[in-house]
Amino acid sequence: MSSPSICEVGSRLIQEYTTKTPQKLKLIDAYLGYIMVTGIIQFVYCCLVGTFPFNSFLSGFISTVASFVLGVCLRIQVNPANNIVFKDISVERAFADFIFAHGVLHLVVLNFIG
């Protein structure tokens, strides 16, 4: 059997994603996409106009990066397919961790953004 081409793989991936992924995970994926786009826009802006003030750029960019990471953690922990690994951590607990970490993150970012 000939190896599938990129287009076939891609369309199959999209189809599987839209049908098989639970709604909750899709919501989180949308959120992750939003965070990533925001980070990219900030980075492009910094490349265009320079790094002054550097602390603001750093805090904004790292805020997006950290939010992305926390979102990924939430997604992993909430994914029913990973239930075996994360038996002890309920969905609610994962969400509470997410909220708490975000609280700390935003405090630090607001302090650093200057």
Binding site for another protein (CB under 8 A): 23, 26-27, 30-31, 33-34, 37-38, 41-42, 45, 48-50, 52-53, 90-93, 95-96, 99, 103, 106-107, 110-111, 113
Residue type present at position 17: Y
Least spacing, CB of residue 9 vs another protein, in Å: 24
Long-range Cβ contact pairs of 60-64 (< 8 A, separation 24 or more): 60/109, 60/113, 62/109, 63/105, 63/106, 63/109, 64/35, 64/36, 64/38, 64/39
Least spacing, CB of residue 10 vs another protein, in Å: 20
Least spacing, CB of residue 40 vs another protein, in Å: 9
Q: Which is nearer to another protein, 9 or 104 (CB)?
A: 104
The torsion angles phi and psi of 9, rounded to 5 degrees, stand at -60, -45
Tell me the three state secondary structure of residue 87.
coil
CB 61 within 8 A of CB 42: yes
Q: Which is nearer to another protein, 3 or 52 (CB)?
A: 52
Q: Which is nearer to another protein, 4 or 103 (CB)?
A: 103
